[in-house]
Structure 1
């Protein structure tokens, strides 16, 4: 099946058969959008991710973006501006379906009480933003969406891994008994003053207590994930959302002398980007207060080093995106231009001569007289 060949044939389809041409991609899109998590096909995603183990849920955060990528790849190829009467078929469905996804997920996020469920709903918010951006068929907006896709995926994967470690602190440590006995004195060393020094309650309140390294790691990682998902500076989530907002209010992109009127749907997406970030801020602030700043008599969770390494790696990549944002944005801009103008890809594929396999050559020689 040659997708480049399909892209050439779609503009040539007679008007009487165009309905059948649209039905096939619509059926495929239903499957892909269910995978991507667009409302109302996303009823499965939040319960599945919330109930999955931390590594599986982190993989879910990556795999849902496969549905978004498939929609972007096929839609920009088969229904580009060169598709004749079928040009941009289904674009409004992507825009308004994505906006509905953002609204439903943001409202549910405010009501979420568990960190795993809030992370699952954050996947839906990011999916709605990406699908809406794809539906505009605007290269500068697609470029910002691709940058935001990478940043949000890394942050959401790290948040799922982090959620299991944070929730562990709310219950008894689940280490084996022998490991727990060995690790407990080390974990308690930072909670007690040096031998021979006795402080009363007032002095302790003045001097303060040393925060165990586990809670410091979890707290700082939680703040980093929150900043990335909300889209607050200085991390890459802010750069991704800022590029989306800039492209929405400047449809022709920077450096272009021709201005186009801003579509009402673009203003709606601008408002939802801001309001969904506010909803995420409220939800993360509430859970952060409950998990880290509310005084409770509970031990710090005992973490293994290999449990922290994936979180450190994912957040490190997010920070690297922040410092390397300019070259990555150039790359995503070039990618978006290629996606929205697929004629070069189509011509390159169709001009390639197929090379027969050795078996085919041998079969051809056998049938020759």
Structure 2
């Protein structure tokens, strides 16, 4: 292909960067005027829009992988044709492309699941989901902190409506707590952004990475104060203890498709912390290098501990899934804070695997509990404590034929249990193994002297959290599928079980293709560990129509 032809293809791909934001935003505007009685039509339009975004993100993943961090201007979209740091830019790299693909995949699953019944539980479900998708995609693509705030607020505003979708006192109570906490976090976000801009005169993240090393001491203190406030806002969203008390209740109260999409919301906080930690406060940040990492280590480990205890204590599957989100967040936060370069690729693999698993589990919970009697969990705990009250009854035949529906649900539940516990051979085990391998792969031949107390503690928590998940899932699985209290056989339609099967199938595919997936994650980690190359690529991007 000629140089001109290659340039034309690259320019065409560059324009795809804005579509993951524009397509769902335009679709939401189209869906709002449509009468709510035509929910099927709204669902079809919303699904088609999300499918288009998913296809675009698959193209962008290939584009990001082909471009590499060293290509000048590749993956940089200048809105209004104003170059950085003066104009608004969207930046695509391997990590943002990965998050875009993961987000649109979860949105597709949630939309298909909702069309069986849940999209009729309230108004404007599909419109709110499209606005949430636009906010998430914008947060992953934006190259400056102010527009990150704008997309963050768009995402939160849509999530408020989605959490309250279906109404009911439990959702309203959880929703009010969720709104209050996130409004407080947004206020901290805005104050932090103001402090950083006042000290540096810029909010472009690539520009901040180049200016931080040369800041005067008094300005550096302002930047670090602002970054600390930003960190609190993002850690609230990521669910770090003790800022996570709202999360299990809110996620358990949400409707299944909403909870499935919410599994990615905590990863927004994780994503931004990775960006700030490795780009702005990376090795080129001078005296501010590694700012806040020790807090991430301590907070991440406490979050794993709190989440594991919550998993063991949970009697309801919804709360167990909520605490599993905290275990996932704590694992990633501590991995980022420890700062071992070899762990980063494994942590990114774990991010994808755990998000897919938890999203599938949230969808599965409602299907499994649909046929259970009200109060079955309380009665099951009572029987465990005091034994069966009908001990004198004669035992009937041993072994019961399992209906086909329960067999399918049981298989999906077992896959979720294996993935959450991190047991071989699925992607949950591969992810944890990759993290520990990166941690133990020290350049020093004497491993005992190279490993710190924090490293050993993290390894222990990683193993124990998996053990806690295995115990809790086994206990609930036995009650539900093996010795459950008499209930009705759940009626499950194909469009409800299909999204669960697809998400779990994605985890299985990730396990089978672990080699190529880990190579992509390693290339992503290498990009993240080269902040100056990233800054140069963004700041040197040429304007359209010029050199």
TM-score for both structures, normalised by structure 1? 0.84
Match of 2:217 in 1: 15
RMSD (Å) for aligned C-alpha atoms: 2.0
- Given the alignment of the two structures, is residue 28 of structure 1 paired with residue 230 of structure 2, yes or no? yes
- The structure 2 residue matched to 1:166, chosen from 368, 373, 379, is 368
- The structure 1 residue matched to 2:479, chosen from 285, 290, 308, is 290
Match of 2:3 in 1: none
- Given the alignment of the two structures, is residue 38 of structure 1 paired with residue 230 of structure 2, yes or no? no
CA contact (8 A) 2:263 2:358 kept: yes
CA contact (8 A) 1:141 1:243 kept: yes
The alpha carbon displacement at 1:233 in A equals: 0.7
- Structure 1 runs (4+) greater than 4 angstroms displaced: 256-260
- Given the alignment of the two structures, is residue 87 of structure 1 paired with residue 295 of structure 2, yes or no? no
Secondary structure, counterpart of 2:397 in structure 1: helix
The alpha carbon displacement at 1:139 in A equals: 2.5
Match of 1:226 in 2: 417
- Given the alignment of the two structures, is residue 238 of structure 1 paired with residue 429 of structure 2, yes or no? yes
Match of 1:184 in 2: none
Match of 2:309 in 1: 107
Match of 2:464 in 1: 275
- The structure 1 residue matched to 2:263, chosen from 37, 61, 65, is 61
CA distance in 1, matches of 2:292, 2:543: 33
Match of 1:263 in 2: 452
CA contact (8 A) 2:340 2:439 kept: no
CA contact (8 A) 2:478 2:484 kept: no
Match of 2:16 in 1: none
Match of 2:159 in 1: none
The alpha carbon displacement at 1:209 in A equals: 4.4
Match of 2:519 in 1: 330
- The structure 2 residue matched to 1:340, chosen from 518, 529, 532, is 529
CA distance in 1, matches of 2:411, 2:255: 22
Instruction: Write out per-residue CA displacement over residues 66-102 of structure 1, whole angstroms, 9 at most, x where no aligned residue.
Output: 1111111121100001111000100111111100100
CA distance in 2, matches of 1:167, 1:236: 26
CA contact (8 A) 1:138 1:340 kept: no
Change (3 A) 1:295 1:7: closer
CA contact (8 A) 2:372 2:485 kept: no
Q: Which has the higher contact order (CA 8 A, sep 6+)?
A: 1
CA distance in 1, matches of 2:418, 2:473: 9
Match of 2:196 in 1: none
CA contact (8 A) 1:58 1:156 kept: yes
CA distance in 2, matches of 1:247, 1:130: 14
CA distance in 2, matches of 1:219, 1:232: 17
CA distance in 1, matches of 2:256, 2:484: 26
- Given the alignment of the two structures, is residue 352 of structure 1 paired with residue 544 of structure 2, yes or no? no
The alpha carbon displacement at 1:246 in A equals: 1.1
Which stretch shows the higher mean deviation, 113-122 or 101-110? 101-110
CA distance in 1, matches of 2:531, 2:340: 13
Match of 1:156 in 2: 358
CA contact (8 A) 2:209 2:285 kept: yes
Instruction: Write out per-residue CA displacement over residues 300-322 of structure 1, whole angstroms, 9 at most, x where no aligned residue.
Output: 21111111011011001000001
CA distance in 1, matches of 2:206, 2:442: 28
Instruction: Write out per-residue CA displacement over residues 139-180 of structure 1, whole angstroms, 9 at most, x where no aligned residue.
Output: 3201000000100101000000001111112138xxxxxxxx
Kindly name which structure, 1 or 2, has the bigger radius of gyration based on alpha carbons.
1
The alpha carbon displacement at 1:205 in A equals: 3.3
The alpha carbon displacement at 1:46 in A equals: 0.6
- Given the alignment of the two structures, is residue 215 of structure 1 paired with residue 406 of structure 2, yes or no? yes
CA distance in 1, matches of 2:542, 2:498: 47
Instruction: Write out per-residue CA displacement over residues 332-355 of structure 1, whole angstroms, 9 at most, x where no aligned residue.
Output: 011111112211111112222345
CA contact (8 A) 2:373 2:486 kept: no
- The structure 2 residue matched to 1:311, chosen from 479, 493, 500, is 500
CA distance in 2, matches of 1:284, 1:209: 22
Instruction: Write out per-residue CA displacement over residues 31-68 of structure 1, whole angstroms, 9 at most, x where no aligned residue.
Output: 11110101111111111001111011111111211111
Secondary structure, counterpart of 1:56 in structure 2: helix
CA distance in 2, matches of 1:326, 1:132: 24
- The structure 1 residue matched to 2:277, chosen from 33, 56, 75, is 75
Q: Which runs of 5+ in 2 are unaligned?
A: 1-202, 375-393
CA distance in 2, matches of 1:345, 1:267: 33
CA contact (8 A) 1:138 1:251 kept: no
Match of 1:247 in 2: 438
